[in-house]
Every structure is written in structure tokens, then in C-alpha cells.
Chains A and B, each alone.
Chain A
Amino acid sequence: MLQHLKAVWTFRYFWMSLVKMDLRSRYRRSVLGIGWSVLHPLAMSAVFCLVFAEIMRVQGGDAAGYPAQWRWYAAYLLSGMAVWEFIRNSTAIGCQALLANEAYIRQCPLPYGIYPLRTVMGTGIHFVISMTVVVVLVCVLKGAPDALGVLWAVLPVMVLLLFFCWALATLSAFSTVYFHDTAHLVEVGSQLFFFLTPIMYTRDILEKKGIGFLADINPVNLFLELIRTPIVTGQPVEAHLYVQGAVLTAAAVGLAAGTIGWLQKKVIFQL
């Protein structure tokens, strides 16, 4: 395991240059370029806000400190979407991580952790940009810089989330090599998951229907609690949730590392 990490570090220039190239090629002929990373979450959330806050009149949540209900909802939605997009994109694009890098795998035996890392660093950079926009917007919406004050609690969780998404990308990459259907399953599954996770609505709605436990067993919800709640309310959450987050991440990373160790000598024959 340690050897694996050392090898990933040795080849850091390689995968870092690929990440840079991925970013550049994504916005190569675009006018706004990386500005789309900023505009996309804004536009999506504006539409959702309009629909759910005004048209469907979602209530709930503690809108304390916010001048209007819809402002709270905008903050809630934006931060939730940023986290969700990161997790969803890492898993979905991560499915192709090994297949897309087949050329390198066939030439040079690099540690397999590098390929999902390439994906996750790319989606991670978009996540950081989105989060910067979100934090700024929440401060504007609330009219108070509470969100800035709680960043010390949010940044470590973002790092944890990065490791968690790497683990998800690794697992989906390896299963896609063996079952190409995985990519489709992930696509459909994430649609379902989106609606089962309290992103667009609040947790109370699940509680009212008696299925509050769904939110408790949902790993994505844990990260939402750890990132979204502090930003929206300006206060860090209870300590035990941070511990849970760390344990979950460690378990996921352990599972991914175990998968790499188990399959690294076999996967080349499946590509």
C-alpha cells in the first residue's frame, strides 16, 4: 500500500499534467472557458429556486438569519447541488477511468490509483470553483459573512470528500472494466439517488413520512450535513458527524485500495 502511494507521488507530474490538459481541453473552444464551471451551478440553482421556492412553495428548514424564505432555499440548494455534482460526476466519469487510459496501461505499468485520481482531480477543481461561488453567494444572500467564518470546519471535510470520491471513482472504474453495464447503472442509479437524498427538499419531509432512516444511512447525506449545514447556518455541526465522515471515508478508501490490490494483476487481461 505504501509502495503504491510512493509510486503515485513519484508520477505526480504525469497525472498533474494530464489533469491540466483535461481542464484545458474541456473548455478548449469555448468563449467563457472555465467560467462555465461558475455559471452552471448558478443557472441550475436559479431554475430550481424559481420552481420550488416560488411555484411549488417549498417550506421548511430553519430560515433564521435569512431575510426571506427563498434566500435560505437558494443557499440550501446551491451548496447541496455543488456537493452532489462532485460525487455524481466523480462516479460517472470515473467509470471510464481505466478504459480511457488503456493506452497508458498497456505501455507503462503505473499504479492504478492514478487513473481515477486524474478524474477526481478534474471534478474536484470544478467542485472547488463551485464552492467558492456558493460561499460568496450565501454571504450575499444572507447579508452576513457567516459562511466565511465556518470555513475552518468545511475545508477538512472537502478534503475527506475528495478521498471519498476517489474511492467511488476507483470502484466504478474497476467494475466497468468487468461489466460495461456499470456505466448505465450508475447513470440510472444516480438519478434515483438524487431524489432519495434530501438535496432539493429538507430532511423533515422524509421524517414526516416516517422514512427518516433513509437519510441516516445515506453516505451522500452525511457529507451534505457536514458541508451544507455549516455553510447555510454558519455553525459547525456536532462532532460525532465529523467522526462518522472520517470513518466512512476511511472505509471507502480501504475498500478501493483493497480492490486495486486484488485486481491490479488481473485487470490488464480484461481491457
Chain B
Amino acid sequence: MAKIELQDVCLTFTIRQHRKVTLKEYLLRGLFLQSRNPKVAVHALSHLNLTAHDGERIGVIGHNGAGKSTLLKLLAGVYPPTSGTRLVEGKICSLFDIALGFEHDASGWDNIRYRSYLLGETPKTLKKKVNEIAEFSELGEFLNIPVRYYSSGMLVRLAFSISTAVEPEVLLIDEVLGAGDLAFQIKARERMREMMAAARLMVLVTHEIPTLEQICNRAIWLQHGSVVMDGPPDKVVAAYKASIPGTAPPAAPPPPGAAASVPEPPQPHVGALTAAA
């Protein structure tokens, strides 16, 4: 049974302005002298509470730098919380920066294997799934060439096929679906719906509001590391849109004749913002 429980979770990054810490810097600090590379505390997540159970599909929205990806990484177990408790039960599968975790000189087939093993599969269980993964990705002959030659959309297809084929109980997706083409996006949504039918837990970070409205049954709005609103997607999305200056107010649906002649822009959310500007 999948479960997420975050109680009063805080995550603070202590970073330095310049990446490398030289021996000189280290000694200076020890001598209490003024440092030219001081530490800066970044409070990525503040006092976050989140509880989720099977069958929930959570969409996370917020401004850039709100802490959405950090939240996902915390859920995946990549970042330990600075304070508070994190409890995630179930097999976790994460789809973050899509180019990460691919061995660039290996072929598509090899990468299917590596990524599956990374997600806990064994050669035996993988044998049955390999062809299904290859079919879902629709990459065909491209699977034989090294992954370094793939476009980002192809990488998304491959990564998504693998991640969903391993039957995770908790699926964490970070804004990667946008790279896939329209046909793939439809396919991906369909597969996610199938997974949800099997009562799995999904957390999705996206800037595409239509995607969120179609797939998710719960939305969370993050702002500066805290949850501002948590509830049904339509309410949260409306509040989020209302908070952004310059968003066009919801217009009355155009008459059928006009709609047919105007092609739908691929990203209506972005279009709405720029149209009003």
C-alpha cells in the first residue's frame, strides 16, 4: 500500500557563493577571519505537511523556485529533511531531469536494462517486460543506437516507458512530459490513468495546467517552500491563476464555427499569459 506522510518537514540548503572550497578558505574559517565565500542558507521547504494515500494523483504547481522539484526529491528520498519526518511507503519510481541516469554510450536496449535494474528489477522479471517497454516507447530501430544521439523527446519516451513498466507504487514525475510529442502525451496520460486504476500514488509537477486538470484528482500550490492551497484541481488552479497578474479572465466558449477555423496552440496556458500581455 502506497503512502506519503510528511510532518512539519523543513529543508534548508547551506550553500556557498563560489562552489569550490579551497584549503585556504577552510583555514580562514577556522581562524574566524572574514570569509570571501560565505555560506548562504536557502530555505527550500518550510514546515510542510502532506498526507497522501493510494489512488491519489497529486499535481504540484507554483512559481519557479517555489520548491516543487525539491519536494519531489525529498519524497524520492534523495534529500533528507533538515527537520520533521518523512515517511514514504511503497516502491518509488522517479522521473526527474530526463537526461540524468542514462549511460550515453550505451544503446537504447542497454539503457532499458540499466534503468530497470536501477529501479530494482532483476534480469528474470525484466525479460518479460523488455519488449513491452520497447513497444510502448515506439522508438523502433532507434533503440539500437547510443542514447547520446536521442532527442529529449525520445529520452522522455524511453524513460517514461521504463519507469511505468516497473509497476511502481509511488510515481514521481517532474515536468518531463512536456518534451514528448502530442501522440506520446495522450499515450502517457492513458497509461497514468491505467496505473491510477490499480490504486497507485502519483505526484506530478507541471506547468501545463490542462495536463494537471486532466490527470490529477488533487492539486497542491506551493509558494516559497510552503503549501498555500491543497484541494481539488479546479479550485486550486483557479486560485493560482487569479494570483498571477495579467492572466486573461476565463472567456465564454467561442461559437463552434469560429473554434474550427482557429488551430489550438500546443500550450494554451502559456498562450493565455502572453495574449493578455
Over the window 104-143 of chain A, the binary record of Cβ atoms lying under 8 Å from chain B Cβ atoms (1 yes, 0 no) is 1111111000000000000000000000000000000000
Contact A106 B23, beta carbon cutoff 8 Å: no
Interface presence of B122 (CB below 8 A)? yes
Interface presence of B114 (CB below 8 A)? yes
Contact of B78 among A21, A105, A180 (CB under 8 A): A105
A193 to B163, CA, bound (A): 47
Contact B96 A17, beta carbon cutoff 8 Å: no
CB of A220, distance to nearest CB on chain B (Å): 26
Residues A21 and B21 in contact in the complex (CB < 8 Å), given A108-B94, A108-B119: no
Contact B80 A265, beta carbon cutoff 8 Å: yes
Residues A21 and B13 in contact in the complex (CB < 8 Å), given A14-B117, A109-B77: no
A28 to B105, CA, bound (A): 10
Contact A106 B73, beta carbon cutoff 8 Å: yes
**For chain B residues 8-29, which have a beta carbon within 8 Å of chain A?**
13-15, 20-23, 26
CB of A237, distance to nearest CB on chain B (Å): 41
Residues of B with C-beta under 8 A to A265: 80
Interface presence of A30 (CB below 8 A)? no
Over the window 72-111 of chain B, the binary record of Cβ atoms lying under 8 Å from chain A Cβ atoms (1 yes, 0 no) is 0100111110000000000000101100111101100010
Residues of A with C-beta under 8 A to B73: 106
Residues of A with C-beta under 8 A to B110: 17, 21
Contact of A108 among B14, B102, B118 (CB under 8 A): B118
CB of A258, distance to nearest CB on chain B (Å): 18
Interface presence of A13 (CB below 8 A)? yes
Contact of A14 among B20, B80, B114 (CB under 8 A): B114
Chain A facing B: main interface SS: helix
Contact B120 A11, beta carbon cutoff 8 Å: yes
Over the window 244-257 of chain A, the binary record of Cβ atoms lying under 8 Å from chain B Cβ atoms (1 yes, 0 no) is 00000000000000
Interface presence of A152 (CB below 8 A)? no
Contact A14 B118, beta carbon cutoff 8 Å: yes
A interface, how many residues as a size bin?
20 to 34
Contact of B114 among A18, A105, A179 (CB under 8 A): A18
Interface presence of A39 (CB below 8 A)? no
CB of A12, distance to nearest CB on chain B (Å): 9
A237 to B183, CA, bound (A): 69
Contact A21 B103, beta carbon cutoff 8 Å: yes
Over the window 238-271 of chain A, the binary record of Cβ atoms lying under 8 Å from chain B Cβ atoms (1 yes, 0 no) is 0000000000000000000000000001001100
Residues of A with C-beta under 8 A to B123: 13
Contact A181 B118, beta carbon cutoff 8 Å: no
Interface presence of A103 (CB below 8 A)? yes
**For chain A residues 1-27, which have a beta carbon within 8 Å of chain B?**
10-11, 13-14, 17-18, 21, 25
CB of B98, distance to nearest CB on chain A (Å): 10
Interface presence of B121 (CB below 8 A)? yes
Most chain B CB inside 10 Å of its own CB: which residue of A103, A105, A107, A181: A107
Residues of B with C-beta under 8 A to A105: 78
A103 to B78, CA, bound (A): 11
| In the complex, residue of chain B having the shortest beta-carbon distance to the beta carbon of A103 | B100
A13 to B118, CA, bound (A): 8
Residues A179 and B21 in contact in the complex (CB < 8 Å), given A18-B114, A103-B100: yes
A10 to B120, CA, bound (A): 7
Q: Could you write out 28 A-B pairs with CB less than 8 Å apart? A: A11-B118, A11-B120, A14-B117, A17-B110, A17-B114, A18-B103, A18-B114, A21-B105, A21-B110, A25-B105, A104-B100, A104-B118, A106-B96, A106-B97, A107-B76, A107-B78, A107-B96, A108-B78, A108-B118, A108-B119, A179-B26, A181-B22, A265-B80, A268-B78, A268-B79, A269-B13, A269-B15, A269-B79
Interface residues of B (CB under 8 A from A): 13-15, 20-23, 26, 73, 76-80, 94, 96-97, 100-103, 105-106, 110, 113-114, 117-123
Top 6 closest A-B pairs, CB basis? A14-B117, A109-B77, A103-B100, A13-B117, A265-B80, A107-B101
